[in-house]
Each structure stands twice: as structure tokens, then as C-alpha cells.
Amino acid sequence: MSQNKQFLSVSEVQQRIISDIKAIDGIEQVALRQALNRILAQDVSATFDTPPCDNSGMDGYAFSSKELTNMDAQQSLKLKIIGQSFAGHPFTGKIAAGEAIRIMTGAQVPDDADTVVMQEHTETPDEHTVVISPVPKAFANVRKAGDDLTNGQTFLSRGKKLSPTDLAFLATQGIAEVKVTRKLRVAFFSTGDELRSIGEALREGDIYDSNRYSLYGLLKNLDIELIDMGVIPDDRSAIEQAFHSAANIADAVITSGGVSVGEADFVKETLEKLGQINFWKIAMKPGKPLAFGSIGNSLFFGLPGNPVSVIATFYQFVQPALKRMKGQDIVLPLSIKAKTSELLKKRPGRTDFQRGILTQSVTGELTVKNAGAQASHVLTSMSRANCFIVIPAESGSIEAGEMVDVQPFEGLIG
């Protein structure tokens, strides 16, 4: 299609943006709780085995597997109870042939024992005797020292976004602080003479600036330090001034509006004067125009003005780029397959990001349907949606019952 010659595909633009971006300099050492959701800036290795000692996986009785020699599972085993090992209170004596100790989950298994029978498979005719039936397999129910981590093993790698599990994982090694990449600073503003901020009165033809609120939320979810620069009018010197001060204070600058072909050319002019910017037309819907480049030491993203285009282009291009700047290893949106329950209308030419509602049946089947009117200024369907349905550029309409690619919105599934 000749029209598509001048258009770049979504993945082409993703590749161009991501391959250019390096992780920012700047590392900080933070306490474990502060490390949640931050990006690890170091590899972390174990300094001792975990678990540190053999311990019991069950409440029951510990004894030597030698007691089981030549026994079959039908036979019962009678042992003398000579002591106990509770979590935090290990048994310090010796266990001889014919002897066992009472043991609890997590309690140290003494050197003389290597097998634990669960309590439910025992009887105690008197307080000094345990009768085991059925007998366990040799070495059963013992968690070996080092079977989670061995001393010296690298267990978390640079670039990992630290999850609640990772905090626990670090805690098992007694690690109180880790190095993470510093927080990104992002400045953003809206451009347009028609835009008013909340609290101002609307004049004839005006609308409220809503993009600064979607951007606020999207950036906040990425744990970014925000610099909200408000609305900048369609005015050459105001725009130039805004770009200038934004680039001075931020790692990245994000604007919305004013990048469409033919409109307010001074935005382009200004950017070309201040930095190195590409103006791309992307074969996607919504969100065709995108400006990307650098002003000074800052990266610049000029998003289209329409509210849904802002969210769609942020999700496909800006979020992966910011994650890369933070040093994160996985950056592109997760895509899964779901069955569409209805016809999805589309013309071949551009990649569609249709607003969808994804549901999961009790049997686990994923189904998606259209969330409503798809025009790029309509927030009703965007608000109702919990995913984008991604339909490839060359594809036409999709019949009900076919499988489609779906990107669940971040936050919904992690």
C-alpha cells in the first residue's frame, strides 16, 4: 500500500526508541521496604546457604533412615522418643538406633537423623514410644540446607523490578539495603490555546485539559518523580521557554498536542532548534503522530493531543522507553490471546488498538469484547476498558469467535 510507505509500523518505532535508550546514571542505596517496585542496580548473591540447616517440613518424628532398612511399607516401626526439636530450640543430644525425637515444622533436623514421619502416620501408646505406620520413605519431609540458595549463588540480577517476593527473598539473606536505580524525573505539559486547567472557567470553545491527568496517573504508576508544568499556549516563545526549562530539570519531557502534520509548525521549529527530534507518522489507530528525540540531556516525547491517543501512544512507546531508562529488563507491554465474542470492525492499513473488555470464565477461558465507541476523543469506552485489543495493520475486520491479541492494562495483572 503506497500510503503506508511514509508510515512506520508500531514495532519499528518501538525498536527505534528502545534501541537508542540507555539506563540513566545514578544509583541509590535504599532500605528493603523502600526497594519495593524499584529497579535493582546490582546483582545480589547469597552469603550463606538458605535454609541454613536441614529442617523439618512437617510436624512429626525425626529418626535415622537406617531404621527403615529391609522394611516394607506395610510394616510398622516402633521407636523410643528421647527428646524434641522445636523451631528455634534444636535438639542437642545424640539419637541412637531405635530412637526418635519429636520434631516440629521448621525445627532443625539433628545430624543423627535424616527422615521425618508426619504426625498423622504415628501413634504414641505412651509418652516414650512412637509407633509409625505407614513408614515414610528414607529422607522424607526433610528440607535440606541450601536447597533454596547456596552460598555464593547470584539470586537477583540487575534490572529486575523488585516484587514483594523479592523483598522476602532478600530478607532470607538478612540483607537490609540494596542498590536501585534512582527515580526518573519526568516533566510534562499540555499545549493548546483551547485548554483550561481545572478551577478556571471555560470560555466559548474551550475544554479542560485532561491529558495532564492521564499522564499523571500513568507516570505515577511507574514510580516516577513528576514535574507538572501545566498548560502552555500555542505561542512560539512560551513553548520555547517551556521546553527549555523542562529539559533542564528532567530526564524526560512529555508533551501532548501540537505535533499533528500542518498544525502549529512552530512546535516543530522550536524543537528542531533546541534538540534532535524525529517526527513520525505511525501506522496505528489511535495516535498517528509522534515526536521523539532529545533536548539537551533529556529525552523528548511529543504525543498527539487526543486523550485516547495519549494513553495509547504512552503505553506502546513512552512506557517501554521510561522502563528502559530506569534500567528495567522487561519493557514491552504483555500480550495474551483471547477469543472475541463479537465482530471487531477494522479496515486494513494501520494497527488498531481497540478498547476492549477482557473477562475470564469460571473455566478460565479468556473472552474479549468491544468497550464502546472507538473515536480518539472518547474517554467513556477508555474508562470502561481493561485492555487494548491489538489488531495487526494488514488485518480487516475480525469475526466473532476468532482469537485476537490483547494487552491487559498495567496494574490489572501486575
Site residues (CB under 6 A) for ligand AMP?
190, 192, 194-195, 207, 209-211, 256-258, 260, 263, 304-307
327 lies in the binding site for Mg ion (CB under 5 A): no
Spatial distance between the Cα atoms of 409 and 224, rounded to a whole number of angstroms: 18
Q: What separation in angstroms does the CA of 379 have from each of 209, 237, 373?
A: 13, 32, 9
The smaller minimum CB distance to ligand AMP, of residues 258 and 293, is found at 258
Largest CA distance in the chain: 95
Residue 216 corresponds to which cell in the numbers above? 499523571
Q: Which residue is nearest to ligand AMP (CB)?
A: 305
* Separation CA 82–CA 96 (nearest Å): 9
- Distance between alpha carbon 236 and the CA centroid of its chain, in Å? 39
- CB 26, min distance to ligand AMP, A: 30
Alpha-carbon distance 165 to 167, whole Å?
5
Nearer to ligand AMP, 105 or 260 (CB): 260
To the nearest whole angstrom, how small is the minimum distance from the Cβ of residue 161 to ligand AMP? 29
Measured from the CB atom, the residue of 136 and 304 that comes closer to ligand AMP is: 304
| 3-state SS assignment for residue 113 | coil
Cβ distance to Mg ion smaller for residue 257 or 302:
257
- The answer to whether 58 touches 141, Cβ cutoff 8 Å, is yes
- Torsion sign over Cα 331, 332, 336, 341: positive
Q: In whole angstroms, give the CA distance from residue 325 to residue 319.
A: 10
Q: How far apart are CA 173 and CA 178, in angstroms?
A: 12
Quickly tell me which residue has 533529556 as its cell: 298
CA 310 to chain centre: 21
Query: Whole-number minimum distance, CB 377 to Mg ion, in Å?
Result: 12
Q: Which range touches Mg ion (CB under 5 A), out of 189-197, 278-286, 378-386, 388-396?
A: 189-197
370 binds, among Mg ion, ligand AMP, none (CB under 5 to 8 A by kind): none
Residue 320 in the binding site for Mg ion (CB under 5 A) = no
Residue 302 in contact with Mg ion, rule: CB under 5 A: no
Q: For Mg ion, what does the binding mask look like between residues 338 and 357, x meaning CB under 5 A?
A: --------------------
Q: Per rule CB under 5 A, is residue 304 in the interface with Mg ion?
A: no
Chain centroid to Cα 354, Å, comes to 22
Least separation in angstroms between residue 263's CB and Mg ion is 6
Q: Closest distance between Mg ion and the C-beta of residue 23, in Å?
A: 33
C-alpha cell at 234: 500555542
Q: Quick one: which of 143, 98, 90, 92 has its CA closest to 116?
A: 143
Contact letters for Mg ion, residues 239-258 (x by CB under 5 A): ------------------xx
> 166 vs 209, which CB is nearer to ligand AMP?
209
**Cβ nearer to Mg ion, comparing 110 with 258:** 258
HSE-CB at 97 with a 13 A cutoff on CA atoms is 4
Which of Mg ion, ligand AMP, none does residue 307 bind to, with CB < 5 to 8 Å depending on kind?
Answer: ligand AMP
Q: Is residue 192 at the binding interface for Mg ion, with CB under 5 A as the rule?
A: yes
Instruction: Give the range of 26-34, 213-221, 297-305, 362-370 binding Mg ion by CB under 5 A.
Output: 297-305
Contacting positions for Mg ion (CB under 5 A)? 192, 257-258, 305
